[in-house]
């Protein structure tokens, strides 16, 4: 063997020793509640950076128009893990027979949710406050999703009956943008980058509630800590696949840490072009503004969990009336493992 071939072989052997020892080709199906939304960006970014592959995982990302649809995929058996909002784990814990389908969040990607309630420029009536929403059409990603929970919370806080508003699923990204601009809905719960694009087109856009900043989160929820986008799975799946969950958590933690050390331009360059919409520069601007929402530790605190339960209790009677062990709805054991 000549010297060059020897060095290549040696480097390959060293690299193989340095890689995770998981069996190659461990397949994991992750249902995402709207992958083009910046709130779910770390899941796609982990795949684009190769962090899942580094952990010996073949991850298939399945895109859905909202968190409730991703949850349905998990419960129906067509997904192993969901990249969705933490509040679904609490909602499911409050349902009758919850022990049979208990959900547990094991990576927390966001410090706060990045949701905003905006008024359509073509609203069918004058809307200046949340109190004005009775008799309107409200857009959410999909009925039963976290955007729907957010809307219900805002209505309940202002004593607007939930059934006084017609809820319409408008998806996210371009579909949501079109629904708001064309007046298919009077108000909508939106996320970046679609919201940033809408604000660029409509500088006078009225935002009734905004949880993209620490100040906005405190104003809406009365807390500075509010876990949002997470990876969650059934408790049974986590017990049976603890090593896989640990590798998923490690890949996500490395992705969140990578984001801290890189610019919005660096991150945007790694994302699929279809996620960036019609204006890549505006996408980078929205991403730059969104950087504070991400959670490098990947962990959930009990204080954050309590805040989510308190919010859900306003609008979900099952949660309000149930006795829920919040510590069973999340675990940090996988993000803290090395």
Q: pLDDT digit string (tens) for 286-309? A: 999 999 999 999 999 999 999 999
The two tokens of residue 51 are 């962090």
Edge to edge, the sheet with strand 207-210 lists: 166-169, 137-140, 187-190, 116-119, 207-210
Domain spans of the chain, in order of start: 19-111+226-328, 116-221
How much is the pLDDT for 218? 93
Nearest to 262 by CA among 286, 282, 291, 230: 291
CA atoms lying within 13 Å on the CB side of residue 154: 29
The CATH class of 116-221 is alpha beta
Asked if 83 and 31 touch (Cβ cutoff 8 Å), the reply is yes
Neighbours of 301 (CB within 10 A): 14
The pLDDT score that the predictor gives to residue 224 is 84
Residue 244 tokens, joined: 């896989």
The answer to whether 197 and 190 have CB atoms below 8 angstroms apart is: no
Looking at residue 75, the DSSP 8-state letter turns out to be: H
19-111+226-328 and 116-221 have identical folds: yes
| Whole-Å CA distances, 86 to 73, 83, 92, 162 | 16, 9, 11, 22
Tokens standing for residue 232: 């969650």
Residue 99 is predicted with a pLDDT of: 62
In angstroms, the CA 223 to CA 217 distance is 7
Tell me the C-alpha distance between 64 and 4, whole Å. Answer: 49
Mean pLDDT split into 10-residue runs, the chain, 338 residues: 38 39 76 95 98 98 94 96 96 79 95 95 97 98 92 94 95 92 97 93 96 92 92 97 98 98 96 91 93 95 95 90 94 92
Domain 19-111+226-328: top CATH class: alpha beta
The pLDDT tens digits for 204-238 are 999 999 999 999 999 999 988 899 999 999 999 99
């Amino acid at each position: 063997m000549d010297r060059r071939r020897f060095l290549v072989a040696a480097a390959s052997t060293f690299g193989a020793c340095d890689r995770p020892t998981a069996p190659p080709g461990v397949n994991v199906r992750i249902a995402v509640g709207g992958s083009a939304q910046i709130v779910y960006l770390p899941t796609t970014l982990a795949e684009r950076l190769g962090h899942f592959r580094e952990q010996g995982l073949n991850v298939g990302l399945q895109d859905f128009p909202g968190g409730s649809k991703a949850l349905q995929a998990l419960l129906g058996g067509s997904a192993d893990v969901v990249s969705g909002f933490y509040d679904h784990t609490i909602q499911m814990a409050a349902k009758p027979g919850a022990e049979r389908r208990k959900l547990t969040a094991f990576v927390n990607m966001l410090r706060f949710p990045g949701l905003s309630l905006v008024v359509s420029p073509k609203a069918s009536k004058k809307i200046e406050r949340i109190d004005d929403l009775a008799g309107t059409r409200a857009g959410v990603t999909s009925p039963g999703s976290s955007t729907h929970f957010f809307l219900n919370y805002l209505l309940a806080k202002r004593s607007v009956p939930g059934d006084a508003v017609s809820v319409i699923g408008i998806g996210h990204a371009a579909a949501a943008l079109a629904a708001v601009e064309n007046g298919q809905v009077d108000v909508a719960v939106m996320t970046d980058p679609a919201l940033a694009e809408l604000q660029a087109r409509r500088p006078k856009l009225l935002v009734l509630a905004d949880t993209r900043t620490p100040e906005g989160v405190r104003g809406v929820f009365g807390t500075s800590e509010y876990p949002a986008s997470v990876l969650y799975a059934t408790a049974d799946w986590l017990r049976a696949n603890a090593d896989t969950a640990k590798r998923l958590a490690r890949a996500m933690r490395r992705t969140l840490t990578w984001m801290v050390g890189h610019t919005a331009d660096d991150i945007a360059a790694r994302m699929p072009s279809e996620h960036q919409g019609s204006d890549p520069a505006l996408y980078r601007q929205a991403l730059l503004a969104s950087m504070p929402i991400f959670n490098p530790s990947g962990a959930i605190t009990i204080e954050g969990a309590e805040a989510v339960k308190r919010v859900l209790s306003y609008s979900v009677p099952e949660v309000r009336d149930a006795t829920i062990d919040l510590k069973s709805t999340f675990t940090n054991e996988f993000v803290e493992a090395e």
